[in-house]
Amino acid sequence: MRCCINPSILSADFVNLQAELERISTADAVHVDVMDNHFVPNLTLGLPIAQRIQAVSPIPLDAHLMIADPDRWAPAYADSGLASVTFHAEAATAPVKLARELRARGAKAGLALRPATPVEPYLDLLSEFDMILVMTVEPGFGGQSFLDVTLPKIRRTREAIDGSGAAVQLQVDGGVTEETIVRAAEAGANVFVAGSSVYGAPDPAQAIDRLRNRAAG
């Protein structure tokens, strides 16, 4: 199974984003955490900064929208050329309609689930999405510990994806380290977001390679 490591720029130096992108040259995509201090109790960046990152980044952008009312705000991220736009199931009014809208605008559509949100209501709708993001921490902050309680949900989602035959990526985000990535990969995840374990390393590009090797087993 192809494995992607998507570093989160939440843990990067926000004053030097362009240089921070160059430090993760071995990454598959850049994970951009958008928070609105409403859906989550933290505020990061919005569309204008995401557009600037998109303009200078040599690797594709993977937006994670932790915002209220994604039905209204998410399409503009797709219009701006971001490769993948993930919104939260808990925040969207019409997830399937929104995913179709994102795809029609040329982006991959991702559906994110908080740790306590069950995946079952979405298992019959997998073909409507390009990616399911199982949050492995409560969204809002980097540097938290991986929640092992989410592993059964990752396993169930993997079984359903394989059973459906749909080309859906299974992403995990939060607390991914060289240790926890092994459990997440065994449970069936194939796209791994890592913030502090990448940007906290002396050489982020090497940290990405090490994570990829660990995930591959």
Q: Which positions from 13 through 32 interact with ligand DX5, judged by CB under 6 A?
A: 31
Which is the catalytic residue, given 28, 62, 130, 173? 173
Q: Are 170 and 191 in contact (CB under 8 A)?
A: yes
Backbone angles phi, psi at 69, to 5 degrees: 55, 50
Catalytic residue at 13? no
Choose between 164 and 200: whose C-beta lies nearer to ligand DX5: 200
User: Can you read off the two tokens belonging to residue 59?
Assistant: 């690797």
141 is in an annotated binding site: yes
Q: SS3 for 4?
A: strand
d(CA 216, CA 26): 16
Single residue of 27, 54, 64, 134 touching Zn ion by CB under 5 A: 64
The 3-class secondary structure across 43-99, one letter per residue, is: ECCCHHHHHHHHHHCCCCEEEEEECCCHHHHHHHHHHCCCCEEEEECCCCCCHHHHH
CB of 123 to Zn ion, least distance (A): 22
Residue 163 DSSP code: H
Q: Is residue 173 annotated as part of the catalytic site, yes or no?
A: yes
x/- letters, 4..33, toward Zn ion (CB under 5 A): -----------------------------x
* Residues 87-106, interacting with Zn ion (CB under 5 A): none
Q: Which range, of 67-75, 122-130, 142-150, 202-210, touches ligand DX5 by CB under 6 A?
A: 142-150
- Region of 16-24, 94-102, 153-161, 187-195 interacting with ligand DX5 (CB under 6 A): 187-195
